[in-house]
Chain A
């Protein structure tokens, strides 16, 4: 079954420390993976997609097909990174997103 797993409900790190938000997936096809972010009192929005291979706000994510993972990383966390982060997988059979449960990231000063 297609599934996205974010094993950490909550992740708390100090400002300046590295951050890694974990995402694992189960999908039989060729996956497209995304990270969405929801800052406090703001709408859910796309952060980055693996196909773009870009860095957004200092975050990067590499698709590892061998480990079926798409972890989100940032070398030095900033307080404004505190938010809910959702990993999602595109189901190319019906063009919808399969969502993880989300990880709440708290950056401590």
Chain B
């Protein structure tokens, strides 16, 4: 399979549950991202990883915990979420995060639609 794949596509969870979102990229990219997409709001960058090291954490609550075991996989672990966390969570990858390699082109997955009850 090519591109960026996210699972599950839909997730419904209670506020006390623990779940994880998974992202896999088959593009040979070195950078991966988690974004939150809420209705009528700009895309919110949550986490950025470059070569498996976290390089950005935009003041995201600790109930969201990322994990990047290798350059092809990215997880977002969820626990004790709030209803306002309901959104579409997008994973993306890019070739590099460097002056030489960052082209501004991100490759997105189809997203995981999260509903917190």
Main DSSP-derived SS at the A contact region:
strand
Main DSSP-derived SS at the B contact region:
loop
Residue A45 interfacial (CB < 8 Å): yes
A87 to chain B, nearest CB (A): 10
Residue A65 interfacial (CB < 8 Å): no
Residue B98 interfacial (CB < 8 Å): yes
> Size range of the interface on A?
20 to 34
Q: Which of A12-37 contact B (CB under 8 A)?
A: 32, 34
Contact A49 B56 (CB under 8 A): no
Contact A94 B56 (CB under 8 A): yes
Interface segment among B10-18, B19-27, B41-49, B70-78: the answer is: B41-49
Contact B43 A86 (CB under 8 A): yes
Residues 42-61 of chain B, each 1 if its beta carbon lies under 8 Å from chain A, else 0? 11010010000001100000
A50 to chain B, nearest CB (A): 10
User: In the complex, which residues of chain B have a beta carbon less than 8 angstroms from the beta carbon of A99?
Assistant: 42-43
User: In the complex, which residues of chain B have a beta carbon less than 8 angstroms from the beta carbon of A42?
Assistant: 110
A9 touches which of B40, B104, B108 (Cβ 8 Å): B40
Interface residues of B (CB under 8 A from A): 4, 40-43, 45, 48, 55-56, 90, 92, 96-99, 102-111
- What 8 pairs across the A-B complex have the smallest Cβ distances? A95-B102, A99-B43, A90-B104, A44-B108, A99-B42, A101-B42, A95-B97, A43-B108
Cross-chain pairs A/B with CB under 8 angstroms, 16 sampled: A9-B40, A34-B105, A43-B109, A43-B111, A44-B106, A49-B103, A90-B102, A90-B104, A94-B56, A95-B96, A95-B102, A97-B45, A97-B106, A101-B41, A101-B42, A102-B42
Interface residues of A (CB under 8 A from B): 4, 9, 32, 34, 42-46, 49, 86, 88, 90, 92, 94-97, 99-102
